[in-house]
Amino acid sequence: MKRAFVRARRPEHKQQRREEILAAARDLAMASGVRNVSLGAVAEAVGLAKSNIMRYFGTREEIYLILATEEWHQWAEAVTARLEAAPADAARLEASSDHVVAALAETLADRPLLCDILSQTATTLEHNVSIEAARTFKRAILAVIADLGAQVARATGLTVGEGTELVSVATAFAGILYPIAHPSPTLAELYAQDPVIAATCPDFLPTLTRALKALAAGLPTLRED
């Protein structure tokens, strides 16, 4: 049952209601996947009418772009912590590159909501949003990628541009790989029935790690003299 709408007038009350809506959208996405969550479902979870939700967020997609930004920042913090924990005397480039790749891949694997959001960003979440919402999101994400790219460069023999490319590809490939490695119920049943087809379903973390290792090793070979 929806609760009677009471307009939040004080700034702290408005912020509290925004956080309630974001938390509900996050919980629903974790339970059933971003693509399956409607604005109506978010409204029902919070106990408000859909029209009241739209007093705080223009669209469902704008809600998830805000959650996406939060997830990107949390992922960046986790990667930074992993890179700062690397041995200070790491002598070999190969060892440092492997550590960076592991930091990127394993922290992505630890964040299924981020990976799910990455799989939906270009196809749905960047549609049906205002220009300002898109601008805010893009600026935040580009800043995260630039910062992590610089950190990757400092930890390896890659240039800043190459480090930035490695970070960008890590998130792009995670978004592509995640839904393949986490199949729908129909495909999961098919895989259970047919081991030959099931063998083509990739494991998320090993596949992502292998791809990033190959990219990290290959980028320096493509430098122009």
For 130-189, how does the pLDDT look when each residue is reduced to its tens digit (9 = 90+)?
Answer: 999 999 999 999 999 999 999 999 999 999 999 999 999 999 999 999 999 999 999 999
Does residue 214 have a pLDDT over 60? yes
b/e map 108-138, b = 16+ CB within 10 Å? bbebebbbbbbbbbeeebbeebeeebbebbe
Residue 54 CB partners (closer than 8 Å, separation 6+): 39
H or E segment and range at residue 199: none
Which structure tokens are listed for 104? Answer: 């990127």
Q: Measured between alpha carbons, how far is 32 from 49 in angstroms, rounded to an integer?
A: 21
Long-range contacts at 17-20 (CB < 8 A, ≥ 24 apart): 17/56, 18/56, 18/57, 20/46
Does residue 89 have a pLDDT over 80? no
Which DSSP symbol is given to 202?
P
Tell me the pLDDT tens digit for each residue of 90-135: 444 555 899 999 999 999 999 999 999 999 999 999 999 999 999 9
Residue 60 pLDDT grade (very low, low, confident, very high; cuts 50, 70, 90):
very high
Does residue 25 have a pLDDT over 50? yes
Neighbours of 218 (CB within 10 A): 10
Residue 85 pLDDT grade (very low, low, confident, very high; cuts 50, 70, 90):
confident
Q: Measured between alpha carbons, how far is 179 from 114 in angstroms, rounded to an integer?
A: 12
